[in-house]
Amino acid sequence: MNIRSSVYLRYVANDLRANKTVTTALLLVVTLSAFLMGTGALVMERTLGSVDQLFDEAKPPHFLQMHSGQYDLTALEEFAAGQPGIESWFIEDMLGFDGAAIGWERPSTGESGDFADSLIDNLFVTQNTEFDHLVEESGAIPRPAPGEIYVPVGYQQRYELRVGDELVVGTDAGTEHYVVQGFVRDGQMASSLSPAIRFLISEPDFAALRQAGGGASEIIVEYRMTDLALVGELQRAYDADAAVPKNGPTVTYALARVFNAFSDGLAAMALMLVSLLLIAIALLSVRFVIRGTLEDEVREIGTMKAIGLPSHEISRLYLLRYGAMTVIGCLIGAGAAIAAAHLLTRSVQVNFAPAGFGALSAPVLLAAVGLVAGIVLLTCWRVLRSVKKVEVVNALVHGSLLGERQSARRAKRQARRLHRTSVAGRFGTLNSRLAVADLRAESRQWLLIPVVYFLATVLITLPMSLLNTFQDPGFVTHMGSPEADVRADVQFADDVDAAGAEILAAMTEDHRLTDVQAHANVLYETTGVDGPETLRIAVGDHSAGSAEFLDGRSPGEQEIALSALNADKLGVATGDELTVRNQDDELTLTVSGIYQDITSGGYTAKMPGRVTAGAASYVIFANTTDETDPEAVASEYNATFPDATMWPMQEYLDQLLSSLTDAFRSAAVLSLIFGVAVALLITCLFLRWRLSRDRPVMGALSAIGFSLRELAGQVQGKTVVTASAGIGLGAVFAATAGEWFVGSLIATLPFGLVSLTLLPNPWIAYLAYPLLLLATAYVGAVLLSHSLRRANTSDWLRG
């Protein structure tokens, strides 16, 4: 190390020690920014790594078609024979049971329960031999003996099940008992957004369970391709073949991977967005501190230039100071991010596969914190370029960074502002008029406070508004459903049509229920841009409105409404004609409107009419009278109609979107904590610097009769006024441009939402949060101005 480097490092170390408060404040902001960005990046990397590891172990299909009902085996064999890209395929048999029919018991303690509160379809299967395995935590492929069962890890976590517990399944012939031997991960149905979950039993037990009756028979037709690029071609060929089974959703390998990582990936994205806002605050803070430091040390800069030290060497000296602070903050943030990512991905590693600090983790973390460091250092460098413009005489004589012309222009601007203030501020006390005059004269200096509080308002408001939107009862219209109090599903029944007619008749005659609507899901075929497509249409009365339409309206006679993803896939718009057909007839319909839907992968359609036979399933909606409890009605109907499942709509929505709301809730809490903490930190940092600069002025005011309480009141008033301006603008931005930004971001995800209208709680978003931030600003001002009351004012006059 040469002498110059040694001197530089010694200077930097001494300066950081001498300015502990400023250094600590900036260090905390940079550390938080690096921590959140690094955590978000690591969570994303580990989530994808965990999903990929599970996919390597379980080998899920590249393309699958779920189907309930009869099917033609010969048609499937002929189809597979005609597709040269298929490496392997098979048909998985499954038996579906309602959660109320499955209970658990713990012999050692006598505890028991059931799965009645779960929306997920419970499917019993045997272990596959070629691919799509259910695997244990170690990656082993279990093969249960008769009487044993392997339970999905999702249920293990939810119901706190243990090895040795007994599972009891109610069938038509009685009950079947199994001993829990272990827990399995499912590459195909591991996502919290998956509508189904699989239990693993032995082949003899499966045959006995089928023989006992009570379960709905389903299949999955699964394909593995020689090349993943051929999946799209296989899907088009499958849709074009009228003979193969299609009564159920289709899923591709890529879509399963996205949905498996979706909820945890969304939480990671939220953390990174919070980090970006904190970085913006950090940049403002760094710029403010550097400018303040240069102004305080302008005579030293003038001296260094006078003795011949080049401007770039002086800039380098300061850049080393803030560069060291940035590097230290990023290193601390990166270390904290490793620990936080481990905690945040524990559920991911339970549901998918253990994914430790792998080969990509270090580069991803370095890239994330390196981005933060690069942005901060670039800002430092841009601000320090002003050192070149410092004039030696002006710096030494006047103590100013500005040249003579710049100083003159600034003086004129301040004079004009003071004149406008004296004209506009004839009302109010002299103390308040002086505060306003100072704000106008030093508006550029005070700009930091409103900008920071603007960003803090956006930072804490948007995540909470997004959480409230997904929890709002009105969000159900984004799922292609009407806003109702209860929902009944008829799917697992030997005779779906008879079961649907029975519960519909009972609900129609029930005086506690109103606005009963029945929708029958019927499969049709149509011709899209890439050839034949299967269309799942909800046939029923849609006149009352059952979705939020992006364009057009609900369908009438000879009309059809399409979800946004379906309209895009089929290449049609409102007013176009679409021909649909099934075994009975062919219809040419006009597209009446396009709506949003996140159910069934976002591919749904609506058509008016009444179906009494041939439906794949039925969904019936109803409202309850004012004095009726939806939960009580649902419990009564579930006990009376075993072939149907009724849910209070709010509970249905909460459980279906629980993974998303959990992610948004975590982001909202973190945003609130960090937003308030950083706002308070920057307020204290700014006021400390400002009070130090204004001591001569306050000393003069004190000498002519202003009390220390009045001086403190000026500081508090200016802080509250500037913070209020930032908070108000932030609230307006969050409600307008912020909503557009969040909606655009959500629309890029394969989720079925094209446009999202935020539904914030106005009491929280526009009253509680602004008051909290305003209180934060006031507390910061009180803390810093409190020292004025103990100060010796005579010292202030000496600067």
Q: Is 52's pLDDT higher than 60?
A: yes
Instruction: Check: CB of residue 607 under 8 Å from CB of residue 538.
Output: yes
Q: Is 63's pLDDT higher than 80?
A: yes
Whole-number pLDDT of residue 207: 93
Q: Is 322's pLDDT higher than 70?
A: yes
Judged by DSSP in three states, 79 sits in helix
Question: How many helices and strands in the chain, by DSSP H and E?
Answer: 27, 22
Whole-number pLDDT of residue 729: 94
Instruction: Check: CB of residue 664 under 8 Å from CB of residue 758.
Output: no
Measured CA to CA, the distance from residue 492 to residue 145 in angstroms comes to 27
Backbone φ and ψ for 174, nearest 5 degrees, come out as 135, -145
At residue 709 the predicted structure's pLDDT band, cuts being 50, 70 and 90, is confident
- Tens digits of per-residue pLDDT, 78-101? 999 988 889 999 999 999 888 888
Mean pLDDT of the chain: 80
Q: Is 276's pLDDT higher than 90?
A: no
At residue 192 the predicted structure's pLDDT band, cuts being 50, 70 and 90, is low
Instruction: Check: CB of residue 359 under 8 Å from CB of residue 317.
Output: no
In this structure, the strands spanning 513-528 and 617-624 are antiparallel
Whole-number pLDDT of residue 423: 42
In this structure, the strands spanning 531-540 and 513-528 are antiparallel
- Tens digits of per-residue pLDDT, 425-473? 444 566 666 767 666 766 677 888 898 899 899 889 988 888 888 888 7
Whole-number pLDDT of residue 120: 77
At residue 776 the predicted structure's pLDDT band, cuts being 50, 70 and 90, is very high
Give the residue, 62 or 11, on which the prediction is more confident: 62
DSSP assignment of 46-77: HHHHHHHHHHHHH---SEEEEEES---HHHHH
How far is CA 644 from its chain centroid? 33
How many other C-beta atoms are found inside a 10 Å radius of the C-beta of residue 329? Answer: 26
Q: Which helix (H) or strand (E) holds 675?
A: helix 658-693
Q: What is the pTM of this model?
A: 0.75
